[in-house]
A = this chain, B = another copy of it.
Amino acid sequence: MAKKWKDPLYGAVLYGQSGGPSAVINASAYGVIKTALESVHVTKVYAAENGILGILDERLMVMNKEDPEELERLLHTPSSAFGSCRYKIAAPEDDETDYKRILDIFESYNIRYFFYNGGNDSMDTCNKISRYLKKKRYDCHIIGVPKTIDNDLYGTDHCPGFASAAKYIATSIMEASRDSHVYNTGLITIIECMGRHAGWLTAAAVLASENCDGPDLIYLPEVDFDMQDFLDDVIRVYEGKGSCMVAVSEGIHYADGTFVSEAKTSATDGFGHAQLGGLAAKLTAIVRAATGAKVRGIELSLLQRCAAHCASQTDIDEAFRAGEFAVESAIAGESGKMVGFSCSRRNGYTCKLVLVNLEDVANEEKKIPLSWITSDNSFVGEKFVQYCRPLLAGEPQRETVDGLPRFAKLKKVFTR
């Protein structure tokens, strides 16, 4: 009797992480690894070190040899536990070397399921590998697991990692806001958030206003930045209430596309030399010179993307489920897809897992709709608040030792 095409593949699982770390990418890792370890169709579960680089270098860790309790601690362990990479794979038409190597590795370990966890570039890599293996008639089911604090992936309501970073930003701004109202002297505070091309993270600052005195002004990379308008806005708020709190995205740029952080000279700032600090330090100096007020700059830095201690339980749950669903879908025969979230916010928040074509996702960038930004380009509206608020809910019950986090300690047993 001929083999039915619908029979699940029987073979090994390979998982890899790529792109910038997040507070919950390891929750997705745990979703993939746990589900794969429990599947009767899976012979072995491997994780590549440093994503695609670890595949090319044959640095594969055997997940079957890990202690299940340590693996579970991945739920609350930030950053990429298996190492990440920013390797941009060539198009197979231009250079087949990497693909041949990948096929070799997949064949020698009988990899029949591959899960790649990352953002835009990673989904592109995932898509290229998927297409190549299909062309070579190597039977392997490939599913992308979304991850990016930038929240700019197409085809999904939001991305795992975003909500926890957003929660850290809103929480930190609430606390900084309390701090900035302590003395009876005026103060302007400028807070720099991550987001080079999309303003989702910076916009999350608005949530600090829900039951606290949050930011007065928010500047996003979705619209052009004008230094004079910015100074006018800051001065207007400061003169009105004696203080002003500003959230700016690192990616704000002038109309000609130049990043404000990189612009070396301008009539307004008057600096002719290279700046050591980042955007916050630069704007702080400019506002101080223009107002004479006390101005404080805060760069939230990489702490915003790895703050597992301030993670959203909703985010952790969804990240885990994305990994789990990826494995379930692959075993059910799906391939060339990315896990996405389809959410509703009517009658409470619900999040449904879906699959989207990798072709459609790869290299598309999702930005905040312009209609969600106020017409003066200096704040976000209620639509963003309604979108973002439910994603932050839930306090994780983390394990601590003497008050400090207990992260997963993996054995990392390599195949060779």
Kindly state whether residue A197 has any CB partner on chain B within 8 Å: no
A195-225 residues at the B interface, CB under 8 angstroms: 207-208, 210-212
Kindly state whether residue A377 has any CB partner on chain B within 8 Å: no
Binds B, one of A61-69, A245-253, A306-314, A350-358: A306-314
**Bound complex: CA of A208 vs CA of B394, how far in Å?**
26
What chain B residues lie within 8 Å of A296 (beta carbons)?
302
Q: List 24 A-B contacts (CB under 8 A).
A: A20-B182, A50-B183, A53-B184, A79-B175, A83-B182, A84-B183, A85-B183, A174-B407, A175-B303, A175-B306, A175-B308, A175-B405, A176-B303, A179-B302, A179-B305, A210-B402, A211-B404, A211-B409, A277-B278, A298-B303, A312-B403, A314-B403, A392-B404, A393-B403
Which single residue of chain B is at the shortest CB-CB distance from A170? B404
Interface residues on A, range: 35 or more
**Bound complex: CA of A394 vs CA of B404, how far in Å?**
9
**Bound complex: CA of A398 vs CA of B402, how far in Å?**
18
What chain B residues lie within 8 Å of A171 (beta carbons)?
309, 404-405
Q: How many copies does the complex hold?
A: 2
Most buried by B among A170, A172, A182, A309: A182
**Bound complex: CA of A176 vs CA of B78, how far in Å?**
9
Kindly state whether residue A181 has any CB partner on chain B within 8 Å: yes
The 4 A-B pairs with the shortest beta carbon distances in the complex, nearest first, are: A277-B277, A392-B403, A79-B178, A179-B306
Instruction: Please tell me if the beta carbons of A407 and B183 are within 8 angstroms of each other in the complex.
Output: no
What chain B residues lie within 8 Å of A406 (beta carbons)?
211
Kindly state whether residue A299 has any CB partner on chain B within 8 Å: yes
Instruction: Please tell me if the beta carbons of B403 and A394 are within 8 angstroms of each other in the complex.
Output: yes
Instruction: Please tell me if the beta carbons of B393 and A178 are within 8 angstroms of each other in the complex.
Output: no
Kindly state whether residue A285 has any CB partner on chain B within 8 Å: yes
Kindly state whether residue A275 has any CB partner on chain B within 8 Å: yes
Instruction: Please tell me if the beta carbons of A298 and B301 are within 8 angstroms of each other in the complex.
Output: yes
Kindly state whether residue A13 has any CB partner on chain B within 8 Å: no
A73-87 residues at the B interface, CB under 8 angstroms: 77-81, 83-86
Q: What mask results when residues 38 to 80 of chain A are scored 1 for a CB within 8 Å of chain B, else 0? A: 0000000000011001000000000000000000000001111
A169 CB, nearest partner CB in chain B, Å: 11
